[in-house]
Amino acid sequence: MNIIVVGLNHKTAPVEIREKLSFQPDLLEEAHKRLLKTPGVTEGMILSTCNRVEVYSCINDIESGIMEVKGFLSAFHGLPLERFEEHLFVCSAEDALRHLFRVAASLDSMVVGEPQILGQLKDAYQTSCKNKAAGVILNKLLHRAFSTAKRVRTETKIASSAVSISYAAVELAKKIFGSLEGKVVMLVGAGEMCELAAKHFINSGIKDIYVTNRTFERAEKLAEEFKGTPVNFNEFQHTLHKVDIVLSSTGATHYIIKPADVTEALKARKQKPMFFIDIAVPRDIDPKVNDIDNVYLYDIDDMQGVIEANVKGRSKEAEKAEEIIAEELMVFIHWLKTLDLTPTIVGIKERGEDIRRKELEKALAHLNGLSPEQIKVLESLTSAIVNKLIHHPVVALKTHAKGHYRDMYLEVARNMFDLADKEKEEPEEALEE
């Protein structure tokens, strides 16, 4: 069994590519079903955030499995593979495991140390479990990734000065306007990103905040928290002329702010500058808005420059985190290798029991008049002999499971006990770490 990751992220693909391959929450159930129907895929999980789309799969053959998962992405999104293949990255075996651990520990994030990715990864895992796409291997792998992330956060200071995307957006606004004193902000969306942005805006001197959201009650709640004004989502475009800064982060699948909306707002503002921050994936604001005079539009990829300065100050903590990941990785790899042992050991025990039972039946056929107690003694005797005979081979297999000759020992054992052609059974339980 092999583990692979096929995906793209903020390092390999611009937002205009990422948004085309993002999975909307209401489509994840169908996506997992189709992933499991992909030839060679036995387990799977889809992680889709504003900065990454990654498909984790357990497969039989690495080379064919990679092509099948690429084909799954292409077919599900109705997008020819040649349109995005150059932006994909592929990891397999140990590299795939290390990538997941780094993602969980927020070492692969645009904002190193940010806490959101761990929550997003847990949500992705729960969705996979809910859709019966996570099995023995992914269950163990994800729990190990979560515990690794916890170690990184408690044993290093990687998150002590983490800069959020929302913080970076506010810093960009400061660069545009110089000072945010007296400026008016509109938040389009009322999720975690917008809530964090609201706090940073308030701390930077913003007094007036408008909040709009598809669910008006949520907009009212967030507006009340920051003493702002809720706006009906179906009419928020008519309020744009009142604000200097618009930060948008919704789950819309199409542009909700278009050039005509901004042009109309600018007329009412007498061409007074406006600053738009689009941190949604897919994007909320039509990129053509940036072509309008006196308008500044930034998307999530533009946050990178602000964030990089923060990352430089955490190199030592990142090194400590990488060491923790290396330790945890070896523990999981050892467990993964023992999976091959389970069906072999079960097979050896079953072979011994099968021989014992048949030979005992033959012997009992020639021994008439034995009492139940005597038969019981023979049962115990033959069982003890078989168990003692197979004890050392089983111990030797467990001992050498983590060595360089693991495959050789397994092959020899399967041939010696005539298990080579026996179809492998699903491991009933994981061996102790």
Which sequence positions are flagged as catalytic?
50
Angle value at C-alpha 161, between 159 and 165, nearest 5 degrees? 85
Name the E strands within 182-304: 184-188, 208-213, 229-232, 245-248, 274-278, 295-299
Per DSSP, the residues of 323-367 read HHHHHHHHHHHHHHHHHHHHHHHHHHHHHHHHHHHHHHHHHHHH-
Residue 11 CB neighbours (<10 A): 12
97, burial (CB in 10 Å: exposed 0-12, middle 13-18, buried 19+): buried
d(CA 123, CA 155) in angstroms, rounded, equals 24
Q: Within its chain, how far is the Cα of 42 from the centroid?
A: 17
Q: What are phi and psi of 41, to 5 degrees?
A: -90, 120
For residue 273, give every residue at least 6 positions away whose Cβ sits within 8 Å of its Cβ, in sequence order, or none.
176, 177, 244, 294, 295, 296
In the 8-state DSSP scheme, what is residue 418? T
d(CA 421, CA 433) in angstroms, rounded, equals 28
d(CA 55, CA 72) in angstroms, rounded, equals 10
Residue 13 CB neighbours (<10 A): 23
**SS3 for 43-73, per residue?**
EEEEEECCCEEEEEEEECCHHHHHHHHHHHH
**Cα–Cα separations (whole angstroms), residue 329 to 95, 121, 321, 335:** 10, 18, 12, 10
Q: Give me the sign of the Cα torsion angle 148, 150, 154, 160.
A: positive
Beta carbons of 332 and 148 less than 8 angstroms apart: no
Beta carbons of 397 and 410 less than 8 angstroms apart: yes
Structure tokens belonging to residue 366:
């020639």
Among residues 144, 148, 119, 139, which one has the least CA distance to residue 42? 139
**Cα–Cα separations (whole angstroms), residue 241 to 227, 264, 269, 270, 413:** 20, 8, 6, 9, 77
